[in-house]
Amino acid sequence: MARELFAGVMSGTSLDGVDAVVADFSPSSGTACETLGAAHLALPTMLRDELLALQTPGSNELARAGAAANMLAELYADAIRRALANAKLDPGQVSAVGVHGQTLRHRPERGWTLQLNNAARVAERANITVIADFRSRDVAAGGQGAPLVPAFHAALFSHKNRHRVIVNIGGIANITDLPPGGAISGFDTGPGNALLDLWCARNRGDPFDAGGAWAATGQVDDALLTTFLSEPFFAAKPPKSTHRDKFNLTWLEERLKAANWKGEADDVQATLVALTARTIADAIRAQASEAIDVLACGGGARNATLMKALAGELAPRRVATTAEEGVPVEHVEALAFAWLARETLAGRPGNLPSVTGAAGARVLGAIYPR
């Protein structure tokens, strides 16, 4: 059997870096895919700061966004080259790479979503066919354009006997419900790491709270948590999606002011951990109450304090990471976009209308030939 080799690149809302993978989607083992090579590149501080700044209105946005897109494209191409080298493959051996781009604004209720990218530049630099702009077609069909990974979660993690939920904890958290033999569903639950990272950066100068160590020094404030949980998004019924457009420092500051907060910064961090854990758990209790396995991926799966809080919220369910199923937590989303690129080239739909609310199944993405 001829190998089906595809690559995927992801830089998520956490802005912690770029992950690239190369995978074979026709492995002899019978699994959905086999990872052949991977690479991770940290975002340069200047680029990370600019991408954060571009998520809110500012001066000279178009020129700044164009420059940032070019910098991202160079980083994406470098990550692809490194992943290919680690897999001992040449670009010509890989059918295509799925490059999601960096989401700056996400307004599906207004009919648009914006992922910063220069896919033509990536194709030129990496000498490989690029599939990009995956969300727009789903949004055009009336969908949320997110999350797009549940179909891949189903291919990779479904179990014939066990009801599973996959939790992706990036900047925004989302869940995929995988009942045995049942309909797949999924949606964004709210902030994952986004508020945690922003509060840590403001108060400690670090881009993220490594392992949740700082949060572990604080105490959850129940009154403050109640104020956070009053956000209407949490009670909204799926399909739903969100981004830093909503969950940002302005959102947090407004709620700290509403709560007349006078306490310590580490208690806010602890309460933000509780917010992420509670909203994920509430979503699972409401939409996947019979699940017995919860598998986490994304950067938040490496936050021990958050994972402990999530396990406490969801007991007695098994709470683990995708690494225990053989897939490193940082590879899942990049693999998903490799899979979506494969679906696009085959002319197969990549969205799930039951997840996004689109009018129907659609082939996603735009193709930029090598």
Q: Average pLDDT in the 76-101 region? A: 98
Given pLDDT bands bounded at 50, 70 and 90, which one contains residue 57?
Answer: confident
- The contacts of residue 102 (CB under 8 Å, 6+ apart) are 11, 15, 51, 72, 115, 116, 117
- At residue 334, the pLDDT reads 95
Q: Following CA atoms 323, 327, 333, 338 in sequence, which dihedral angle do they give, to the nearest 10 degrees?
A: 180
294-327 per-position pLDDT tens digit: 999 999 999 999 999 999 999 999 999 999 998 9
pLDDT at 28 over 80: no
- At residue 1, the pLDDT reads 58
Which structure tokens are listed for 322?
């995708």
Residue % of the chain over a pLDDT of 70 = 98
Round to the nearest angstrom and report the end-to-end CA distance of the chain: 24
What is the residue whose two structure tokens read 């470098």?
Answer: 78
- What's the pTM? 0.92
- The contacts of residue 152 (CB under 8 Å, 6+ apart) are 335, 336, 339, 340
Does this chain's domain 5-147+330-368 share its CATH topology with 150-325?
Answer: yes
Phi, psi of 54 (to 5 degrees): -75, -10
Would you kindly state where each structural domain of the chain is located, as residue ranges? 5-147+330-368, 150-325
pLDDT at 29 over 60: no
- Cα Dmax for the chain: 65
Which structure tokens are listed for 366?
């735009």
What pairs with residue 97 in β-bridges? 7, 130
What pairs with residue 294 in β-bridges? 165, 319
251-274 per-position pLDDT tens digit: 999 999 999 999 999 999 999 999
Cis (ω within 30 of 0) for the bond into 238? no
Report how far apart, in Å, the C-alpha atoms of 90 and of each of 6, 16, 207 are.
Answer: 12, 27, 35
Which DSSP helix (H) or strand (E) runs through 198?
Answer: helix 194-204
Tell me the HSE value of 26 on the side-chain side, using a 13 A CA sphere.
9
CA distance 207 to 127: 33
CA distance 249 to 60: 22
The CATH H-level (homologous superfamily) assignment of domain 150-325 is ATPase, nucleotide binding domain (3.30.420.40)
Residue 289 DSSP label: T
3-state secondary structure of 24: strand
- At residue 244, the pLDDT reads 85
Q: What is the CATH number of domain 5-147+330-368?
A: 3.30.420.40
